[in-house]
Structure 1
Amino acid sequence: MLSTANATVDGPAWALLQAYEAERAVWPTVPPVRHAPREVTCLADVLPHYQALLFDAFGVLNVGDRAIPGAPQALAALRRDGVPFRIVSNAASVPKAGLVARYRALGFALDPQDFVTSRDATAAALAQAPGHWRWAVVAPEGADWSDLPLPQARRCDGALRDGDDAVLFLAAQGWNEHAQARLEASLRAQPRPVWVANPDLISPWEGGWVREPGGWCAGLTARTGAPVRRIGKPFGELFALALASLPQPWAPARVLMLGDTLHTDVLGALAAGLHAALVTGAGASTGLDVARAVQATGLAPHWVMPYIGRPPRP
């Protein structure tokens, strides 16, 4: 049975859940719930049930520039014991090398092949896009997209130009309401496809929550008429890439996805036929009344745990 200790229905986690529910029509559909979530202490309690693991990053491994206690040790133990895993993240803002360097600096012994990101899924999608498209890329000044198949691209700081065929919302660092208003005015005047490389509405950082590309583009079609394509969790392209990257295929029910949000990690896993664990101790679901959230959304993880590892005693 799920505990409601320290849970709230009016805190930021519940507000975020409601924001995702408002966008529910754009997310994948999931089968009816046929299981009840079970509370456990950490990953070690459920590990015997699975042959491979997929981890979200923000809220499960780290919060901003701080590793969550016990997480580096948990992944090191999996590596030592030969348990295959991948980090499945909506991080689209930096090339793989930068992502690996960030997590190594946080104490995680990870290599490029350990990560499967929405940037990877975006690269695969761009390779199938019309070759003549000229892209306006929403990204910070100086952003590197040389790893992406974007032969005709410029950085977008708000207003679109007549020659722009489509928009790629790659990263939200430095983006603001003024730039968003200029972009939306351009799209209302001439709707163009908008691809969102990170569907997350927010991400948790040490100083609070930060709006991500999915948050800036929520309701964009209704406001502008521009068609929006979202790439990354909870959509199937990224989960298919992650499963294909594992050393061998396993039945989906023997693969566990661990993440801190119901609407990206859990929903995406269930839609892909995987099992799901909601991690509630440090990320977007901190303080969430999980039992009430499951009832309100119909999204039921198989497991609920505060952290993937046992944090060291203070």
Structure 2
Amino acid sequence: MTPSPRWAFEAYQRIRFRLPELVTETATPKQVPSLEAISDRFDGFIFDAFGVLNAGNNALPTAVARFHNLQSMGKHCLILSNAASAPQQELVRKYRNLGFPITPDQLISSRMLVSDALASEPERRWAIMAPASAHADHLPCRGFTISDLEAKANRERLDNADAILMLSAQGWTRELQQGLIDSLNRRPRPVWVANPDLVAPRENGLSLEPGYYAHHLMDATGLDTVFFGKPFNNAFDAAKSRLSPIPTSRLLMVGDTLHTDILGGRNSGISTMLVTAHGALKGLDVNACIAASEIVPDFIGPEI
């Protein structure tokens, strides 16, 4: 299935009860043509990646130039991504190759967050949702990747795992999903989700991400999961810590998704800007989506 922006928005609305409650007062968004109009108000810019800086492996038209411009003005730029399929150094290299002049300390990924948490869980043996290309063996944990769950030996191996890590949805299938659900119904165990996104903007549309399969799993098993990444506090606490010399009032979160970027930014006390031309809300009535979700950004613009 290739989801549409309308489908994705409605899917986020259906799982809204599992997301953090909005704790800040409703704002009145201001329309801006781009970040240039408000760049003097902020010293630190926290960018979502997919739908803001890039779509899949392609940089978005004005994003590279804006990133360079902000840094030439002495502004601090940080990428806060829910990406978990690639190791940190590979992700930094990707964005540098796309033209974004970042150093490793300018990128926080949800994979980095879950990797830090795994380092304190040395005794568990993890069954990991990930293809070989995700290099799950680079994570600081014992475990194996989930492959052919139709084979009896692998079903037993999965049942004997201490916990589940949903790292990457590349190559994931309905059969693998059902096998995981069946295993967790036979023996409930902790489930960690390294990417809370339901979808991600790619070159040819939206892809389903681990968050989608995690909520499907929760519906089917009744289990709770632990999420790492936006809109949850672990992501925004890490971003604010990385930009700690800058007051929160001088930070701006820029994202394309109301239920992750904007919700999480607002709950962290950070000003927010919703971009609409390329990401999760492309082609939708943005004001209607804001009214339906009651998640209101401070600024709205087509792109950065």
Output the TM-score relative to the length of structure 1: 0.90
Structural mapping, 1:219-258, within 5 Å: 219-246=216-243, 248-258=244-254
Partner residue, 2:171: 174
Is 1:115 matched with 2:107? yes
1:257 and 1:277 in contact (8 A); partners too: yes
Name 1:204's counterpart in structure 2. Answer: 201
Higher helix fraction (1 or 2): 2
Equivalence for 1:270: 266
Residues of 1 paired with 2:218 and 2:9: CA distance? Answer: 21
Mean Cα displacement is larger for which, 54-63 or 101-110?
101-110
How many angstroms apart in 2 are the aligned matches of 1:50 and 1:61? 19
Contact 2:87–2:134 (8 Å) recurs in 1:
no
Give the one of 277, 280, 287 matched to 2:276. Answer: 280
What residue number does 1:85 align with?
77
* Contact 1:188-1:226 within 8 A present in 2 as well: no
CA RMSD of the aligned region, Å? 1.6
Mapping 1:40-55, distance limit 5 Å: 40-55=32-47
Task: Give the SS at the match of 2:108.
Answer: strand
Aligned residue for 2:128, secondary structure, equals strand
- 2:160 aligned residue: 163
d(CA) in 1 for partners of 2:45, 2:131: 32
- Equivalent pair of 2:109/2:229 in contact (CA under 8 Å): yes
Query: Residue by residue, what CA displacement relative to the aligned partner does 1:216-264 show, whole Å, maximum 9, x if unpaired?
Result: 1114223113331111000000111111112x43332321000000000
Aligned counterparts of 2:291 and 2:297: Cα–Cα separation in 1:
12
Residue type of the partner of 2:220? Answer: R
Contact 2:127 2:165 in 1 (8 A): yes
Greater CA deviation, 285-294 or 137-146? 137-146
Equivalent residue number for residue 97 of structure 2? 105
> Is the Cα contact below 8 Å between 2:4 and 2:205 reproduced in 1?
no
Q: How many residues align?
A: 295
AA aligned to 1:141 is: A
Letter matched to residue 63 of structure 1: A
Q: Which amino acid aligns with 2:146?
A: C
Match of 1:154 in 2: 144
How far apart are 1:142 and its partner, in Å? 4.7
Matched, 1:135 2:131: no
Deviation by residue 1:258-292 (Cα, 9 ceiling, x = unmatched) = 00000000001011111111010111111121211
User: Contact conserved, 1:170 with 1:197, CA < 8 A, in 2?
Assistant: yes
Letter in 2 for 1:101: R
Is 1:29 paired with 2:26?
no
Post-superposition CA distance 1:175-207 (Å, at most 9, x none) = 111111111111111111111100000101112
Q: TM-score, normalised by structure 2?
A: 0.92
Which residue of 272, 292, 299 corresponds with 1:296? 292
User: Residue type of the partner of 2:109?
Assistant: T
Give unpaired runs (5+ residues) of structure 2.
Answer: 150-154
